[in-house]
Structure 1
Amino acid sequence: MASDTETAATRWAGVPLTVRRGERRARLVEAALELFGTQGEAGVSVRAVCRAAALHARYFYESFTDTGQLLGAVYDKVAAELAERLLAVLEAAGDDLAERIRAGIRTVLDFSSADPRRGRVLFTEARANPVLTARRQATQTALMDAVLQQETRTRPATDPRLARVGAAMFTGAMVELAQQWLAGSLGDDLDAVVEHAAALLLAPCVA
């Protein structure tokens, strides 16, 4: 029977070093996503991740200095997937503000709950982890900037200060909405939640 070393040597035989490293890194990130998404931060250790990825520990340190850096890579992966999906649905929604808001809300909530691991990474786990805290803050800032761009696109005459206030409120509300949705506090009717949230955001300001 071939040893683990022999099996590994066969697996990587003839594969360029950069490709090997990239594949190993991807496997570690996927393993960490599964562990973090099902067990939380406590379930992510070097040993556990390497076991789940079927890789020797030395390959962990080939790509990451510690589990904090690995969790950052997990967050970046999930956030990038959400951003790509959001961009696609917003483009498909056209310039109609109401449709764009509904599409954006639905996409964030559906993406986060369709695979609970993603919601846990983005919104509900490890809020005290400095790596994830910094990334979440950066993501919220990016979301606010994106909202401002959409506001300029659909309502170019809007006062810049008012637009920024609205974008900040929308961003904070979306984070809280996602957390409540994932916790099950809002029921399980996604259509109803989207409609209620959109109606509140689209309601005219009362002087």
Structure 2
Amino acid sequence: MTTRWAGVPASRRRDERRDMLVRAAFALFGAGGEAVLTVRAVCREAELHTRYFYENFTDTGELLAAVYDRQAEALGEVLARALEEAGQDPEARTRAGVRDVLRFISDDPRRGRVLFAEAPGNEPLAARRRAAETALLDGLVAMGPRDDPTVVIAATMVTGAMIELARQWADGRLGDDLDAVVDTAAELSTALHAKAVERLTR
């Protein structure tokens, strides 16, 4: 009788099992949060023996970090494409970025839970979220004179606001009118940008 992995090279078998575990964890965490993410539950969802879990991960925290990495990479590609198409106008870039990030979440609500929902005590996930926030902040600061505190303050405020906007949207607290949310976010962000520019040119 042939086995499930017959004829598949060892490295590929491991990669495929890792992918199956990550997809299973995404489904579980996306539907029920961290409380339902156990080794046994993930392996049952993936239809794999628990030994294959420990072949790839030390614990569920490390697995959830891998789930986050995959969704963050996908979101990064969406955001980069949106900003490239928007050009250099600050308001157009804000509109495109906010719209595509929120749409990315809406297309699969599980993404919002993975990227933004609270996960108390999960340090690998928290570390990745901090790194993502820092990268966003650094990108915004790089758009202006680095030695001017106005740029850093404005970038810090925008970073916090955008992350919280995505979190509230993922939680369903902003309604379902995407256009209204994008319009408001763009208006407020543009006003902050204009104020920062005004201070820089004094």
Q: TM-score, normalising length from structure 2?
A: 0.90
String of CA shifts for 1:129-188, please: whole Å, max 9, x gaps: 222111111110111122234x24xxxx68643222211111100111112222222211
1:146 and 2:135 aligned: no
Residue matched to 2:116? 123
Residue matched to 2:167? 179
Residue matched to 1:112? 105
- CA RMSD of the aligned region, Å? 1.8
String of CA shifts for 1:99-134, please: whole Å, max 9, x gaps: 111111112211122211100011113144222111
Structure 1 counterpart SS, 2:8: coil
Which of these residues, 16, 20, 30, is aligned with residue 9 of structure 2?
16
Give the unaligned 5+ runs of structure 2: none
Residue matched to 1:91? 84
Structure 1 residue ranges, 4+ long, deviating more than 3 angstroms after superposition: 157-160
Q: Percent identity?
A: 57
- For residues 154-193 of structure 1, the aligned pairs below 5 Å read 160-193=148-181
1:198 and 2:191 aligned: no
Counterparts of 1:201 and 1:101 in 2: how far apart (Å)?
7
Counterparts of 2:100 and 2:65 in 1: how far apart (Å)?
22
Counterparts of 2:140 and 2:104 in 1: how far apart (Å)?
18
1:79 and 2:67 aligned: no
* Larger displacement relative to structure 2 (18-27 or 178-187): 178-187
Contact 2:169–2:175 (CA under 8 A) maintained in structure 1 = yes
Counterparts of 2:44 and 2:85 in 1: how far apart (Å)?
42
Contact 2:146–2:152 (CA under 8 A) maintained in structure 1 = no
Structure 2 counterpart SS, 1:109: helix
Give the unaligned 5+ runs of structure 1: 1-5
Counterparts of 1:97 and 1:57 in 2: how far apart (Å)?
50
Q: TM-score, normalising length from structure 1?
A: 0.88
